[in-house]
Amino acid sequence: MLQRVAFDDLEVGEIAIELDDREPQEVIAWALDTFDPDAIAVVTALQAEGMAILDMAVRLRPEVRVLTVDTLRLPAATYRFIEEVRARYPHAQVEVLSPDPGAVEAMELRDGRDSFRDSLALRLRCCQVRKVQPLVRALDGLDCWITGLRRDQWASRAAIRKVELDHDHNGIVKLNPLADWTKDEVWEYLADHDVPVHPLYAEGYTSIGCDPCTRPVSPGEDDRAGRWWWETGAPKECGIHCPIETGGFEHEAHAILGEDR
């Protein structure tokens, strides 16, 4: 039977202070020791940071749960990479989450298949239906999720801590073990540990999402510039890390745009 573990703000605040200077592996080890194996998962789109976290977690617990979302619009290379990851980590429980087919069909009938190009609102709706909702359903059964977020990836991530209480998702614990790592540190880890990397990095991509919403970046561009590149000023987020329902996304948008609201 699942042993549920929950913390309050004060407790998580104390744990965060204790673990904020620790190495990512120590943070992950704390979580794996603390939560029921079925109630903790690495949640990743299998990008560089997620692969580093996955590798660290597997070294500590080979059969760790790993959740990734198939939005049904992923690049062909991502589907092949999922199989490569499964082959490399045969004991890890890699679970591919899918959107509700009825919700996708209803959205496409109403808005069109590529409505994400028409407005930010329609893009966010597409991300909600295809990506955020399946993840939120999965998070519902967890006490802790582990992400590969880093503070210097984007303004909306600048204040993350290694251990947080995720009030946007039932108050479960959100772990960001790479919060203070740089991109170079991530790639150094991947090389040192011979971790498989998504093949699109070799084609100039620096952040990889759905096929129609991701492009390679040019030299000097921000790493997330290839995500939803036709939008100007909007946060390069899908909504899972700053949820739309609670106003988190809008808050981050205004912070980034410098609007006083």
**Among all residues, which ones are annotated catalytic?**
238
* Sign of CA pseudo-dihedral 219, 222, 223, 226: negative
130 versus 174: smaller Cβ distance to ligand SF4 = 130
Minimum CB separation of residue 214 from ligand SF4 in Å reads 7
Which residues here bind ligand SF4, judged by CB under 6 A? 71, 73, 116, 123, 126-127, 130-131, 209-210, 212-213, 238
63 versus 222: smaller Cβ distance to ligand SF4 = 222
CB under 8 Å to 163, separation ≥6 — which residues? 12, 15, 16, 19, 20, 27, 173, 174, 175, 176
52 versus 69: smaller Cβ distance to ligand SF4 = 69
Distances from the Cα of 150 to the Cαs of 18, 115, 156, 166, in angstroms?
A: 19, 30, 10, 16
54 versus 104: smaller Cβ distance to ligand SF4 = 104
Minimum CB separation of residue 44 from ligand SF4 in Å reads 16
Distances from the Cα of 133 to the Cαs of 32, 46, 61, 83, 171, in angstroms?
A: 25, 18, 28, 24, 17
Q: Closest residue (Cβ) to ligand SF4? A: 210
Helix (H, G, I), strand (E, B), or coil: what is residue 24?
A: helix
Angle at 237 between CA 231 and CA 229, to 5 degrees: 25
Tokens of 31: 């979580």
Minimum CB separation of residue 8 from ligand SF4 in Å reads 34
**DSSP string covering 113-133, please?**
TTGGGT-HHHHHHHHIIIIIH
Residue with tokens 């976290």: 53
Minimum CB separation of residue 255 from ligand SF4 in Å reads 21
187 versus 229: smaller Cβ distance to ligand SF4 = 229
Helix (H, G, I), strand (E, B), or coil: what is residue 91?
A: coil
Own/partner long-range contacts of 250-258 (Cβ < 8 Å, ≥24 apart): 252/155, 252/156, 255/155, 255/156, 256/155, 256/156, 257/233
5 versus 136: smaller Cβ distance to ligand SF4 = 136
